[in-house]
Structure formats: structure tokens, C-alpha cells
Structure 1
Amino acid sequence: MANVTFNQDPVTLVGSEVKVGDKAPNFSVLSNDLQEVTLDDYKGKVKLISVVPSVDTGVCSKQTQRFNDEAEQIDVQVITISMDLPFAQKRWREVNGVKNLELLSDHRDADFGEKYGVLIKEMRLLSRSIFVVDSNDEVTYVEYVSENTNHPDYDKALEAAKAAK
């Protein structure tokens, strides 16, 4: 598993590490209107999955806004997943004018977190990471950000998403 810290303190990631070339694990999360959403709902599309601890924090907010701003130019399905409650995500989305990506919650079962190896055991938050999944559901790019308070490599993630088309 990736060595990850949160505010420089080591954390334990629960689940299996996902690697380039793997078949993307299916998962179940909630939309902002409490409907179940799975990877299968995006079948046939290239997906850039941006994972954040909480959209209500500075780096997570900027990460989500950045991918929202880029979503139209890269023409792939952008998904942000966090442990925030769907109601909080909906409020944040409206306040920040986010319209170009799906904002989904893993709070109910931590199903995504465990299947992608990003559930932080000590905090029950998701560890900052990026996954690009092609239209055949093969993982083509992975970044487990080593320090959760740092930004991911936006340029590499965006290039990987474009290349997966």
C-alpha cells in the first residue's frame, strides 16, 4: 500500500490498492439526492475520479473546482467522491457553482474507499487520490497523494484522462 500521511502523521489505508492495468472495481456511493450510484452507471465513458477528504476544506475545494473547470475541455466524465454527507455536498456545490462534475458521497458504506484502498482507518475519511478509468473500465492512471494536505498532480491527471479517450 501507498505510504500516506495526514498533516505529516502516518495514516492507515484500508482496502486494496488499485494499480494501472487493473479492472476498476465497481462501487456503490450516493448522489446528492440520496440515489445509489455505481461505476456501472458510467459504462462506456472515460472517468476521471477525484477523491477528496472533504469538499469543505481548502485544498479539497480547490481540487474539486479545478476539475469542474477542466471538465468541459477534456470531455470525460469527472466524478468527485468524498465522505461528506450528500446534503453538505449539495450545499457546497450550489454555493460554488459546480455544474460540470458529479459529486458523490461514500459516507454510507465506505464501499468506494475500501475497494480503491483510500479509506483512512483513523479518521473514516477518504485519502486524496486520482483514478482515470477508460471506457472499458480499465484503470489507466492512479495517484495516491502521499500527503493529504497537498494537491494532486492536476496536469498528469488531465493528460491521462485525455489519453484514455
Structure 2
Amino acid sequence: MAKITFKNGPVTLIGNEVKVGDQAPDFKVLANDLSPVTLKDSEGKVRLFSVVPSLDTGVCDAQTRKFNEAAAELGENVVIYTVSMDLPFAQKRWCGAAGIEAVQTVSDHREASFGKAYGVLIEELRLLARAVFVVDTEGKVTYVEYVSEATNHPNYDAAIEAVKALTN
């Protein structure tokens, strides 16, 4: 299992670690309008899952904005999700204030389904650890980054290159 810290303190992750080559686990999260979102909803597209503890923090804000900017160069066959435990209403408000239109924010607050399926649910905080997953059109995981310190940025360039490799 990935070793993660939050503000330099060790935390326990719940769920199974996802590895490159695995079939992407299914999940059930909520869109900003409270409708369910599952892996099948984006079937046939390349998916980038940007996982953040909370959109109301500086690094999470920057991470979501970075992938929103990158979306323009990645094309229409790519879906980018930002997954957090924030309530759907808060996500919608945040997206409106931040001008986020190319990334779909989804909430894992109800069941922690994504967190458990991808091994990013922090037991002590009931937040998600920072991570990035890229899934190809067939549902295979092609890129994984569990950020070792939850307050650090992920490797944006590596994640974007992983998506580009699937769309060229």
C-alpha cells in the first residue's frame, strides 16, 4: 500500500492500491446536480482522475485549475474528473467562482466509493489523499501517482503526458 502523510503525519489509507495495468475499479460518486457518476459514464474515453482532499485549499485549487487548463490541449476524447469529499453544492459554487468548465468535479462524500476503490480514503480524516490516475478507453489503468505528502503537488507533466500518449 502507498505510504502517505498529511502535514507530515502518517495516515492510514483504506482500500486497495491501484497499479498500472489493473482494470480500473468502478465507483459511484455524485455530480454537482446530485446525479450518480460511475466509471461506465465515460466508457470509450480516456479518463484522468485528479483526486484532492478539498477544493477549498491552495494546492487542490491549483491542481484543479492546472488540469482545467490542460483540457484544451487534450481533446474531446478525454474526460477529466476532480474527485473530492466536498459536497456537490460546494463543488458547484467553487467551479463557478473559479471559472472551471473543462473539468468535472464529483463528490465522494456519500459512500466514499471512489476512495475505497482506489485506495485513497484517509481513515483518520475521511478525506481523500492526493493522487492522479489515468485510465484508457478500454478501462485499463495506465498511470498512477499517489502523492506521498498530501499537501504537495502531483507531477502534472507526467500525468498530462500519460493522457497524450493515449490520444495520439
Question: Normalising by the residue count of structure 1, what TM-score does the alignment of the two structures yield?
Answer: 0.99
CA-to-partner distance for each residue in 1:116-148, whole Å, 9 max, x for gaps?
000000000000000000000000000000000
- Opposite residue 110 of structure 2, the aligned amino acid is R
1:123 maps to 2:125: yes
What is the rounded CA distance, in whole Å, between the counterparts of 2:126 and 2:79 in structure 1? Answer: 26
Instruction: Report the alpha carbon displacement of residue 31 of structure 1 after superposing the two structures with TM.
Output: 0.3
CA-to-partner distance for each residue in 1:68-107, whole Å, 9 max, x for gaps?
0111101211110000000000000000000001100000
- Opposite residue 85 of structure 2, the aligned amino acid is M
1:60 corresponds in structure 2 to 60
What is the rounded CA distance, in whole Å, between the counterparts of 1:164 and 1:81 in structure 2? Answer: 21
1:26 corresponds in structure 2 to 26
What is the rounded CA distance, in whole Å, between the counterparts of 1:27 and 1:10 in structure 2? Answer: 26
Q: Is the 8 A contact 1:85 1:107 kept in 2?
A: yes
CA-to-partner distance for each residue in 1:43-91, whole Å, 9 max, x for gaps?
0000011000000000000000000011110121111000000000000
Pairwise CA RMSD? 0.5
Q: Is the 8 A contact 1:14 1:118 kept in 2?
A: yes
- What is the 5 A alignment of 1:31-42? 31-42=31-42
- Opposite residue 58 of structure 1, the aligned amino acid is G
Please list every run of 5 or more consecutive structure 1 residues that lacks an aligned counterpart in the other structure: none
What is the rounded CA distance, in whole Å, between the counterparts of 1:94 and 1:152 in structure 2? Answer: 24
Partner SS, residue 89 of structure 2: helix
- Opposite residue 131 of structure 2, the aligned amino acid is S
Moved over 3 A (4+): none
What is the rounded CA distance, in whole Å, between the counterparts of 2:59 and 2:46 in structure 1? Answer: 25
- What is the 5 A alignment of 1:5-154? 5-75=5-75, 76-154=78-156
Question: Normalising by the residue count of structure 2, what TM-score does the alignment of the two structures yield?
Answer: 0.97
Partner SS, residue 113 of structure 1: helix
- Opposite residue 96 of structure 1, the aligned amino acid is A
- Opposite residue 36 of structure 2, the aligned amino acid is E
Please list every run of 5 or more consecutive structure 2 residues that lacks an aligned counterpart in the other structure: none
What is the rounded CA distance, in whole Å, between the counterparts of 1:149 and 1:32 in structure 2? Answer: 25
Partner SS, residue 32 of structure 1: coil
| Alignment size in residue pairs | 165
